[in-house]
Amino acid sequence: MNTNKVQFLLNNKICELINPDPNQTLLNFIRTKLKKTGTKEGCAEGGCGACTVVVGELNNDQIVYKSINSCITFVTFLHGKQLLVVEDLINQDGSHHPVQQAMVRFHGSQCGFCTPGFVMSLFSMYKNHNSYNSDLIKDTISGNLCRCTGYRPIVDAAKSLNKVDFKDNFSKNKKKTVKILKKINSKNLSIINKDKKYFSPSTISELKKIIIRNPKSQFLNGGTDLSLIVTKERKDINTIINLKSIKELDFIKTNNNYIEVGSTTSLIKFENFILKYYPDFNSILKRYGSVQVRNVGSIGGNIATASPIGDTSPILLSLNAEIIIQSKVNKKNIPISKFFKGYRKTILKTGEFIYSIKIPIYKKNIFKAYKISKRFDDDISSVCASFNLEIINKKIKKIAIAFGGMAEIPKRATNCEKILKNKNLSLINFENVNKSLEKDFKPIDDMRATKNYRIEVAKNLLTKCFLEIESNKLIRLN
Amino acid sequence: MIKEEYINNIIPHDSAYKHVDGSAEYTDDIIEPEQTLFGAIGWSKKAHAIIKKIDLKDVRLSEGVVSVFTYLDIPGKNDVGPVFDGDPIFAKKKVEFYGQPLFAVAATSIELARKAVLKAKINYKELRPIVTIKDSLEKKQTHFKVRKIKKGNALKKILKSENYLKGNFTTGSQEHFYLEGQSAFAIPKEDNNLLVYSSTQHPSEAQQLIAKMLKQKSNSITVLVRRIGGGFGGKETNFMTAAICSLLAFKTKRPVKLRLDRDDDIILTGKRHEFYSEYEVGFDNQGLINGLKLKLASNCGMSPDLSYAINERALLHIDNAYHLSDIEIENHLCKTNISTSTAFRGFGGNQGMMSIENIIDNISRHLNKDPSEIRKVNFYKNNTKNITHYGMKIEDNVIGDIFEKLIKSSDYKKRYAEVKKFNKKNKYKKKGIAITPVKFGISFTTLHLNQAGALVHIYTDGSIYLNHGGIEMGQGTHTKIAQLVSHSLGLSFEKVKISSTNTSKVPNTSASAASSTTDLNGAAALNAVNKIKNNLETFIKSKYKIFYNKEPIYKDEQIIFGNRTFNFFKIIKEAYLNRVSLSSTGFYKTPKIKFNKENFLGRPFLYFCYGASVSEVTIDTLTGENIVDRVDILHDAGKPINPALEIGQIEGGFIQGQGWLTIEEVKWKANGQITTFSPSTYKIPAVSDMPKKFNVEIYKDGKNKEKVVNKAKTTGEPPLMLAMSVFYAIKDAIASVENYKKIPSINAPATPEKILMSIKNLTKN
């Protein structure tokens, strides 16, 4: 069954939007239609967190509260969900939520403009966890910028939540909320608003039909990148097909030899899963972007945008991952090294989409990945490096090295690999390949780094990788 | 009953609850009347060019567009330069920076307005742009004449010294990145009057410039500001948004909102001045500076804006806390084709201080001594060596005491040794530690700006209405001034209503800047309160026949004349019925200050703020990545009005300074196009940049020697410069790579890239 009504819970009231503009951002909707101006626009690109709101989603009979950047989310995202904005945290008697009270008590606001965003990020943390340590707090607000406080009072406010031991109103109303969410959460969206269309199929077979009818459509697989066409380039996206509504694409399967991740799997879900296999993969995903971005951004989306600085690609390259591409007629497996064609170009043909990613499990190998950026939190890599080595008796049997930020596409360092293969594990060997890195890569100067620095760091990361293997210790600052 | 004293006490920011629940209203949050239009600015895509043709046909035809305006539509003056002209609202024939406004549209929605401006077709004849300080110095493109300052005979002293060093140093620009971008909302009223809501630190100047633009009198324009979402100097001038918004409203006769999106905000508005210095210094074997020659050049951008005053403050802070007996400085104000550089917390003072700190650091490395010792050797002393290079006697010097106390409390000496030990054992991780002082002068260096006004009413129910010229931008000035007022009247804080800054209530105000907002406006508010108190006391004394020569006490809602006590609220009602005025304006001007700009002599500051910080960092020698392990701060806030708010300023200022000196990097292409104009390309500190250990204390013996409200000292700008220790700790860590035998060369900001390259250069030679 299709519907042209976006149905969602506005706090605890059911709301319906009939054929809304599919290019309207959630932030714009909140501020201009709901006339709730507590949620702010700071950057319109998901980089400052001032627009953070929380959406409640059903997971079995639990509500998961996800913080998201409303500035880079389209309003259609709300379908079947609960929307909570900062004003909704006030209790009916006018008293404030524990998160809000903590922020006041610890002087967590100065100019106050970023504050609603911080409150909502902390609210989602408060709802989804039972205790809050420093790492969790920092991760929670790593995508919220504050220019006044220097963060210390906000972190202290968050820590103080460990001492709050009563149920807030959202816990008290949980049963009721779950019931309504179940009621509204069912139909596929099919929206037509003037010359713009939006579809959210729930199965792959429905998706295929929509693709045939709308060959020029854009896939939405999280949208943290796609939405910038509207918010930054100020262009329209005429037809959007949401992949995120397809349950078949949101999965993680594993056996002894590989992990298969469905295309729409959120980065946050995937990072938690991958931790026990490849810890460095996990730590880089945490730095890939803020919680708000990782909550909606997907692994398939990150690969399909083919950005030279997307952090998952170099890692998947060094792990010899395969992309499973679904077309109208069949599925095919492509090694990820053949997937990228050029700057933001892939081999995907019209109508094709990523079904899943298959990542081999190397039980005996050493896997290391590094991300170098100006800022630790939520920054784009100057260089991202990933190493996958099989070492037997101090000899390098197999090696895969990949870099991001060093070329117009994420790329393997094939010359380096060739030289190092079958060599002994020694510093000299690692330093000797430095020159061949310059053959592998001709990086560019841009606002993030110069080409000299990129080359220099890439060489040093080779050294670092060796040093870490040799000493069996990590040489890291964090 | 009042249980708490409302002064010298921690109470939350007056808007804290409104911040956390979203009800605090900013300019863009004001609900628009139905007819409201939305503006967008069309701007130059070239940094230096003649406009050959400007075709706006497609803009006019774009969906939702109501009107399009250029410089031809401005009835009055086409310039919003604050002190000097040079900032055209819309360019006429020539553009001088990438982002210079050319035209604006008013449309039915903000999206349609922004889409429309992209449809302009403009033909340029490109001219060669000047972007860097170096290029500007070579081409002799400056805004003012070279300024030269001389005290003693630097050259002679340098030649006679046992040691000599020369070098150069750069500190980078910085984007304000206030979270609330530039925005304005203008509503036309009868008689061509305009009511303008503006996110500005300087409503009076906005009012005057809008009036001049419209060829009207100032009394026809009212500017209102309840609060702004951060300013940091970036809203002290930058009047183009308010002016263009007002023009659109005036022309269309409809309310207009204009809000720059983040990209436009960064591209169109000015930033902190990049400073370049060349020095020659002579010093003895103890590190005492005998003579210093300095060339100081700053990138001022396309117009003068506040650059003269900013460079002047750099010159006035070239000493930081050090006595410089013989110096010679020349100062170049470079004119370039970038957006006009402007005020930013520190206002040149920080750039001047970084120059001397770099010299001091190099001297210590040259002599192979602990830099903290060299700093102490050069400090101003209390009875001798207490005259600055501009002839002001320092009467409130506490830097020695603060420095000693901090060295102890931070365990500096022990940690200094431990850092060296750590570095001997580690090759790829190196630690560094540094302690730096701050001395920062308080007052506007332009005399007439050191004045303020206030307006206080007491209504018949005893509630207080407070208005003054200061802008609330997060620093809590409204809270602190309300505390002063409530304390003075013996009432609880809640009895005082804080209101929007409003040019029709308090006229001719100065910008909320120079760290002086609470000092000036608080004193003006108290002056108003005292006048009302005078009226009340005269009335009480005459009505109740009280002969009491001392000042009565206002406490716990009572007015106490020795053994006679009056309930505040009853007596207010009574005073009203007896026709006593319960409203007053207040005024204040800073005493003592006087500065001769020609011979660079006088007393430009009422007092100085002092502070010091110790930072310890770890760097990764393979990547240049770094982490701030620990920071200890001891800062003089005098007798603070509200310690929680002062701590907030100290910590926030520190982190902002840390950003300036480490990760914040503004970049321009050779053609003048800025490439760092969004949070994805320009990184301000995030939560992980906070020092792992952060010990911040207010100097307990602090007390302002001058007559300043509550004997407090401001904490606005000075804490930003506490972050200098982070930079010198990084430099210390780099020096360890060559076992402290060579002086590293590194400019600010010390990004991972600069750190790695500095290490590479150090080990290469």
Q: What is the CATH number of the domain that holds A397?
A: 3.30.390.50
Residue located via tokens 């970049």: B667
B662-691: pLDDT as tens digits: 999 999 999 999 999 999 999 999 999 999
Report which secondary-structure segment, H or E, holds B322.
Answer: none
**Per-residue pLDDT, B307:** 98
Q: Of the candidates B23, B111, B694, which has its C-beta nearest A38's C-beta? A: B23
Residues A137 and A62 occupy one common structural domain: yes
Asked if the model's pLDDT at residue B8 lies above 90, the reply is no
B139-182: pLDDT as tens digits: 999 999 999 999 999 999 999 999 999 999 999 999 999 999 99
**Per-residue pLDDT, B5:** 52
What is the ipTM for the molecules in this complex? Answer: 0.97
- A 10 A CB-CB count for A139 gives 21
Give the angle subtended at the CA of A431 by the CAs of B429 and B624, to the nearest 5°: 30
Query: DSSP states of B277-309 as a string?
Result: EEEEEEE-TT--EEEEEEEEEEE-TTS-TTHHH
Report which secondary-structure segment, H or E, holds B151.
Answer: strand B147-151
Q: Across chain A, what does the average pLDDT equal?
A: 95
Query: DSSP states of A377-437 as a string?
Result: SS---SEEEEEEEEEETTEEEEEEEEEESSSSS-EE-HHHHHHHTT-B--HHHHHHTHHHH
Assigned domain for A220 exists: no
**Per-residue pLDDT, A435:** 87
Chain B residue whose CA is closest to A149: B652
B200-254: pLDDT as tens digits: 999 999 999 999 999 999 999 999 999 999 999 999 999 999 999 999 999 999 9
**Which residues of chain B does A85 touch, with a Cβ-Cβ cutoff of 8 Å?**
22
First to last CA, chain A: 50
User: In this structure, are residues A121 and A39 in contact, taking their beta carbons and an 8 Å threshold?
Assistant: no
CB of A196 less than 8 A from some CB of B? no
Assigned domain for A222 exists: no
A147-186: pLDDT as tens digits: 999 999 999 999 999 999 888 999 999 999 999 999 987 7
Domain count, chain A: 3
**Per-residue pLDDT, A434:** 86
Residues A276 and A308 occupy one common structural domain: yes
pTM over 0.90: yes
Q: Of the candidates B31, B618, B665, which has its C-beta nearest A35's C-beta? A: B31
**Per-residue pLDDT, B43:** 98
Query: Chain A to chain B, count of Cβ pairs less than 8 Å apart?
Result: 250
Interface with chain B: mutation pick from A54, A111, A141, A236, highest number of B CBs within 10 Å: A111
> Among the residues of A232-290, which ranges form H helices?
267-274, 279-288
**Per-residue pLDDT, B4:** 42
User: In this structure, are residues A317 and A412 in contact, taking their beta carbons and an 8 Å threshold?
Assistant: yes
**Per-residue pLDDT, A166:** 82
**Per-residue pLDDT, A165:** 84
d(CA A185, nearest CA chain B) in Å: 29
Residues A164 and A302 occupy one common structural domain: no
Q: Across chain B, what does the average pLDDT equal?
A: 97
**Per-residue pLDDT, B2:** 36
Q: Residue B749 class from Cβ within 10 Å (0-12 exposed, 13-18 middle, 19+ buried)?
A: buried
CB of A100 less than 8 A from some CB of B? yes
**Per-residue pLDDT, B400:** 97
Assigned domain for A101 exists: yes
Q: Residue B448 class from Cβ within 10 Å (0-12 exposed, 13-18 middle, 19+ buried)?
A: exposed
Assigned domain for A203 exists: no
User: In this structure, are residues B592 and B606 in contact, taking their beta carbons and an 8 Å threshold?
Assistant: yes
- Rounded CA separation A422/A418 (Å): 9
What average pLDDT score do residues B329-339 get? 98
Assigned domain for A37 exists: yes
- Rounded CA separation B512/B518 (Å): 9
Using CB atoms and an 8 Å cut-off, which of residues 272-331 of chain A contact chain B? none
**Which residues of chain B does A105 touch, with a Cβ-Cβ cutoff of 8 Å?**
12
Residues A388 and A316 occupy one common structural domain: no
Tokens of A205: 């077979």
Residues A329 and A406 occupy one common structural domain: no
User: In this structure, are residues B238 and B176 in contact, taking their beta carbons and an 8 Å threshold?
Assistant: no
Q: Which of A299, A330, A360 is the last residue of a domain?
A: A360
Q: Of the candidates B12, B15, B694, which has its C-beta nearest A152's C-beta? A: B694
**Which residues of chain A does B230 touch, with a Cβ-Cβ cutoff of 8 Å?**
111, 113, 147-148
What average pLDDT score do residues B648-656 get? 98
**Which residues of chain B does A234 touch, with a Cβ-Cβ cutoff of 8 Å?**
111, 114-115, 118
B682-719: pLDDT as tens digits: 999 999 999 999 999 999 999 999 999 999 999 999 99
- A222 CA to centre of own chain: 8
**Per-residue pLDDT, B706:** 97
What average pLDDT score do residues A395-415 get? 94
d(CA B428, nearest CA chain A) in Å: 8
Residues A310 and A449 occupy one common structural domain: no
Chain A residue whose CA is closest to B624: A457
Tokens of A112: 């106050």
Q: What is the CATH number of the domain that holds A84?
A: 3.10.20.30
Interface with chain B: mutation pick from A40, A107, A444, highest number of B CBs within 10 Å: A107
CB of B284 less than 8 A from some CB of A? no
Torsion of CA B286, B288, B294, B300, to 10 degrees: 100
Q: Of the candidates A42, A96, A147, which has its C-beta nearest B20's C-beta? A: A96
In order of their start, the domains of chain B are 16-22+451-589 (3.30.365.10), 32-128+182-228+235-268 (3.90.1170.50), 275-445+596-764 (3.30.365.10)
Interface with chain A: mutation pick from B19, B175, B262, B479, highest number of A CBs within 10 Å: B19
Q: Which of A360, A380, A403 is the last residue of a domain?
A: A360
- Rounded CA separation B542/B569 (Å): 18
A266-277: pLDDT as tens digits: 999 999 999 999
**Per-residue pLDDT, A41:** 98
Q: What is the CATH number of the domain that holds A348?
A: 3.30.465.10
- Rounded CA separation A257/A173 (Å): 44
- A 10 A CB-CB count for B91 gives 21
Query: Which strands form A13-18's sheet, in the order they lie side by side?
Result: A13-18, A5-10, A82-84, A52-59, A62-69
A205-251: pLDDT as tens digits: 999 999 999 999 999 999 999 999 999 999 999 999 999 999 999 99
**Per-residue pLDDT, A306:** 85
Residues A254 and A126 occupy one common structural domain: no
User: In this structure, are residues B583 and B525 in contact, taking their beta carbons and an 8 Å threshold?
Assistant: no
Residue located via tokens 């000496």: B413
Q: Give the catalytic positions of B in this structure.
A: 717
What average pLDDT score do residues B430-459 get? 98
CB of A113 less than 8 A from some CB of B? yes
Assigned domain for A213 exists: no
- Rounded CA separation B12/B381 (Å): 38
**What is the crossing angle of helices B371-378 and B349-367, to 10°?**
120
Interface with chain A: mutation pick from B20, B173, B431, B682, highest number of A CBs within 10 Å: B20
Cβ contact A48–B622 (<8 Å): no
Cβ contact A374–B752 (<8 Å): yes
- Rounded CA separation B361/B733 (Å): 13
CB of B656 less than 8 A from some CB of A? yes
DSSP character at residue A305 = T
Assigned domain for A31 exists: yes
Cβ contact A103–B19 (<8 Å): yes
- Rounded CA separation B680/B682 (Å): 6
Residues A299 and A173 occupy one common structural domain: no
- A 10 A CB-CB count for A475 gives 18
**Per-residue pLDDT, A432:** 85
Closest-CA residue to A25 (of A47, A9, A44): A44
Q: Of the candidates A104, A150, A452, which has its C-beta nearest B20's C-beta? A: A104
Chain B residue whose CA is closest to A41: B180
Residues A32 and A168 occupy one common structural domain: yes
The residues near A99 (Cβ < 8 Å, ≥ 6 apart) are A89, A119, A122, A123, A126, A157, A161, B20
**Per-residue pLDDT, B142:** 97
Least confident range from A398-412, B65-79, B307-321: namely A398-412
**Per-residue pLDDT, B3:** 37
Q: Of the candidates A96, A101, A148, which has its C-beta nearest B652's C-beta? A: A148
Using CB atoms and an 8 Å cut-off, which of residues 230-269 of chain A contact chain B? 232, 234
Confidence band, pLDDT 50/70/90 cuts, at residue A63: very high
What average pLDDT score do residues A414-428 get? 93
Tokens of B467: 């208005």
- Rounded CA separation B659/B272 (Å): 13
- A300 CA to centre of own chain: 10
Residues A123 and A39 occupy one common structural domain: yes
Residues A51 and A151 occupy one common structural domain: yes
d(CA B627, nearest CA chain A) in Å: 7
- B154 CA to centre of own chain: 32
Cβ contact B262–A111 (<8 Å): no
A188-198: pLDDT as tens digits: 999 999 999 99
**Per-residue pLDDT, A428:** 87
Residues A56 and A84 occupy one common structural domain: yes
Structural domain of residue A283, as residue ranges?
Answer: 247-360
**Per-residue pLDDT, B7:** 65
**Which residues of chain A does B680 touch, with a Cβ-Cβ cutoff of 8 Å?**
45, 47, 380
Assigned domain for A455 exists: yes
Closest-CA residue to B305 (of B262, B340, B338): B340
Chain A residue whose CA is closest to B179: A42
